Each structure stands twice: as structure tokens, then as C-alpha cells.
Structure 1
Amino acid sequence: MMLLVTSLLLTPVSQAARTDNQDQSELTRWVKTTIEQEIADYAQRQRWPDYEANIEINVPSAVTHLPACPTSFYISAADQQSLPVGYLRRQVECQTGDQPWKLNITVQVSLRLPVIVATTPIRRDTKLTATMVKTQTLTLSRAEAFATRPEQVLGQRTLRRVRSGQIISPLQLQPLWMVEEGESVMIIASKNGMAASMQGEALQNGVKGEQISVRNISSGKVIQAIVVERGKVETIF
């Protein structure tokens, strides 16, 4: 695992060398260090396993015409991309000296790490089971959501068809059903501070907070109720 170094969106970086003009190679090294820190910080939050990062920095040659920053310069994000993979934009700024300056640079990041992929074609609205997915080490070069642990996807349902070998994206999954069609549920009915419970049958799938149709077993009446937890719905008269 790469060493974690906490990074900030606006990171001060000391400049060791003192020349008349800004040194391009030195700036490139500092930018790479900042991106490495950003990736390590994100990896810890997401609990990634071991990974390898390849970082390519593109600093415009025009930087050599800028005056050397006498004290420090700052590196900040110039895009709205939270996942530090793929094409990134950063801005370097020198805020001191007689001629403060700003410079836009680009960064290309690719990651190699274990991710969750489909072992077989999976149809839309299918509940994922352990036999449908596996962990495979791949190289990622685009900012696409992925999962690194089976528990991040198991039990959830697909929103679209998934090809065999395709990376399972959490954004393409529906939250885990708290109530499933055809199963028995407890209906909680409340009115004026009083509550009663009865057995029912879910006629639709539902996530927490969603309204679904439920049949009252004793009366046979179909009512609308809100999913409140696993196997339990609530209706207000």
C-alpha cells in the first residue's frame, strides 16, 4: 500500500531552488507529489486494497519564462472531479514576489488495482449474488465508478444489463430492497398517536422511504404504505 499523506485542496509547497525563472522539472516533481498524496488520501477513505498509480504531468514549457517563486507556490484543483483517475486539471499559483502568476496544468492518472467485475452476463433488475461477481486486477484510466470489495455490491439490483467481465459500477446498482415483492411484511398503522400492527403481503419491491402497494392479509384490501425497515411498512390513516 502506498504511504498515506494527507492532502488539501490548496497545498503549499516550498521551493528549494532559487533561480531567475521557474524550474519546470522542479514544478513537475511537486505536482506529482501532490497528486500522489491526493490518491493516497482517497484510497484510504474508500478502503482500497494495494494499488499502483501511474501519473503523467504536463507542465507547459512557458513556465520557464515565469519568475521563480521566492517563497512557495500552491496547487489546487481546477475541475469538479472527485475520483483522482483519468484526466485531471490543476492550477499552480505563485502568490508572492514582484510578479505573482498562475499556471494551468494537466495530469493523466491510471490506476492498477483489484476491482469487482461480472463473471457472467447479468440482466437488468437482477439481485447480485456471490457467484455473479469476482475480483480482478485491472488498469483504469478513466473516471468511472468502481467497487473494490464484494460487500459493496452484493444484494443490490442492476439498473441495466451488465456484460460478462464488465466492471460493476455502484452507480448502476439500485439500493438494496428493504421489502421484496411477494414477501410477508408487518404493516404498522398509526392514527392520533395510537398504532396497530397487522400482517401483509408486499405487492412491489421497495427501498427505505419508498411508497409501495401492500395487501392486508386479513381484509384482502390493497393499501399504500411507506417502507420503514426490513420487512416493515407504515401507513397513516
Structure 2
Amino acid sequence: MNYNVIYKVFAAITLLPFINTAGFASTNTHQARSAQLIEGAEQYVSSQISSSANTRLNISTADIDQRVNLPLCPTPIVYSASLESLQQSNVAVKALCSSTNWYMYLMVNVKQMQPVVVISNAVSPGTILNQSNIELINMNRALLRRTTFSNVDDVMGARIKRRVRPGQPITPNNLCFVCKGDTIIINASNSMMQVKATGVAMQDGNIGDTISVTNSRSKKQINARVASTSEVVVGI
């Protein structure tokens, strides 16, 4: 019997648990330090970027490669980023251990999400917007090139002027609450009196817009402010 072979096999089996434990310990240490660095970088970015009450920050960081050495830092890690970088969607954050002068950069992705009213079903020109064809979703602010709406009530009852695909944001220039040729009520008033008349819209307009309307009876053309889908107001 070859006792030398038996001894080597026995020694290998005996040491195997210790080898695995060391490997797990190393992996766990890396994961813990990696998580600490990522959390610190994300908290730093969150504290440096201002957002309105209508927006929400969505911050994420890629995992740190297992092969990267992450030494223990006896002092708190200091995080920093340039002003220019903080204005980008991908922020390069420097994590510095000042006591050992060790540092590394983490790439933190930032998305400013805001509620946007979009079309839920394909609509054609002239379609009246209602609960069945619009919805509110969160979208990345950086991808929005035009003015949008953040409340479904702001577009309810308006008509679409051009074809819109599902998921596409609704913009003011593609709406008309009062559309050219619509028959509307002209509400003329002051502190003492109020007069109403029927008129015809000569222009498209959204709530608050001033458009040209023609009084159906007198044929006089006046400028009036759009108040709803059926009424414009003018002072007298």
C-alpha cells in the first residue's frame, strides 16, 4: 500500500474546509467594502443634485469588479465629483481614503424621473382625450425635449391635432382645447355686468391662450382668453 499517496489525499481533504472558508471570507469582505463604497457614492450624489417636488432621483451604480483590490480604510471615505460631472447623467465620483491616499472612481448613473401624461392607445387627429386613451407614467427628464403635462386633468377634454403613438408624451403644441372653427360661448364681463354670446373660434387655443374669435351675431372679431373647451372670456 502506498502510504505516501494516502497521506497526501488525507492532507488535502483536511485542508479543504480551511481553503474554502478563506475564499468565502475574502469574497464577503470584498462585497461588504464594495457595498459600502457604492452606498457612500450614491448618497453623495443624492446630496449634491437638487430636484423639484415633482421629480424623483433614480440613482444606480455598477458593481465593483471582484478583481479590484479594496483595502480597509481606517478613516471615513471622502467622496467628491466635479461640478461638470454632477450635471451629467453619468457622474464620476472619486472615493478617497485620505489616511492611506488610496482612491478609486465609481460611475454613478442618475436619472431625474418626473410624471408625464402620455397616450395609452394610438389616437388620430381630432380625438378627444379622456381616461381611456391617456395615462400618467414616470419618465427620464433628460429624454424630454418639449414641454409636457404632469396631471391628466390638465389635458382632459382637449383634442389631438396630429397622430400620436402609444407611450408618446402629450405636448401643448399638439393640443387644442378650443379648435379653429369651433362654436363657443363668449363670456364678456366686468364687476358690474356679464354678457354672453355665441361665437366661432378663428384659431386653435389651449387653456389660458388668447385667440381670435368672431361674434356670430355682430360678425365682430375680438381677442378672448380660452377658459374651457366651450368658452372664452373677455373683459368689457
Superposition TM-score, scaled by structure 1 size: 0.49
Larger radius of gyration: 2
- Structure 1 or 2: more strand by fraction: 1
- Structure 1 or 2: more helix by fraction: 2
Q: Which has the higher contact order (CA 8 A, sep 6+)?
A: 1
Superposition TM-score, scaled by structure 2 size: 0.49
